[in-house]
Structure 1
Amino acid sequence: MGNTSIFPQIYDHYTEMTFRPVAYAGNCYKDDPRPEKCSLFHVPKLPFRKVHNATCPFSEGMCLQGQTSAYELTTGFLDAKLLGINEKYKCQFWIRKVCSPLRTNEPYILSKPIGNTGDRHVEYYYGDGWGTVHKGNLTLIQVVSDPAAYLKGQPHYSIIKPTREWRPEVRVKDSKVTLYFIQPINLVYTAPSPDPIFPATV
């Protein structure tokens, strides 16, 4: 995988914290777990509950498919002993993750064709994610290639955790917001698809 942005990839604390759970899940949450990789916690897996059609955590209208279209994973209150924390007094913790595709129209995205190539110059305006752009709410700039011309290659991604602020519509009180940019490769549809991430409607 690679970064498609004109900006260099940033391997900061938040990016590392995103990759580590993925690696842990790949090593430990399968039929043949690797014990040497799964001894980080007192118990290998925490109980959790899935919530489909959860409430959008952002301002009204920001979630692509409406105010009750988010996907939530929540543990509820759990005893800290599950993490190997033994205190005199009972300690509890609660992990809650909510995910939803965001609106991808103006004023959050500006897209312009590049000549007659089929490529497009795309600017994303969700806030100054890296704190380095210093151009209002500009988050990311990409050149998006014509999918019909590039049917082979590697999928691309970008993970952005702000050092400054998101624009108000995507801020969530007492929470950390991470924005993922995902670009598909090798997807060829033979029929319409309503998928919120990779739709095919044309």
Structure 2
Amino acid sequence: MVIFHNPCTRILRLGYAYLCSTSLSGRLQPFLERISEQTGESSSAALLDGDDIVYVARSATRRIMSIGLGVGSRLPAHCTSLGRAILAYQSPEEIEAYLRRVKLEPRTPKTIIRKPELREALDVVRAKGFALINEELEFGLRSIALPLIQKDGRVVIALNISAQAARVPITEMEQRFLPLLQGASDALRYTF
């Protein structure tokens, strides 16, 4: 897990995000575009940088969030499917360190803001193999993410599909979207 503790490293973090995105986006983008074509929904890839996720590739079919997201955009890891899909696969020591230092800010009334509940949510993600967020980041937004497990077993990247909650039920996300993410993850596993 890449963690930058010094607040003076903001410029380094931006540079790091750029360097990672240029090398990764070329490999990830075709998979995300295929997922978006098959679902009609936005698909993204991100990595963990400190306590946030940073988008490294994105295929947006429509704007479903109140803010625009692109490569280099940052969001808090605790309330995103991408963040939870990565966090759940870190070592117990890394998860505990994250929980000690992070302040769990509510984005909606549904956001998990108690650390024991987040720890339990991460355990569920690891047991199921995917993360599903239902309006914790923003009202009306639902997303499902899958960790991209590397050859050596590490997880530093996750892939997701986001949709409007009013249009796409949770069952569809699990039954129709999850297999598409699994196919992309399986194909990408041996390239990292």
Quickly name the TM-score band, shorter chain normalised. Answer: under 0.3
TM-score when normalising by structure 1: 0.23
Would you tell me which structure has more helix in proportion to its own residues? 2
Provide the TM-score with structure 2 as the length reference: 0.24
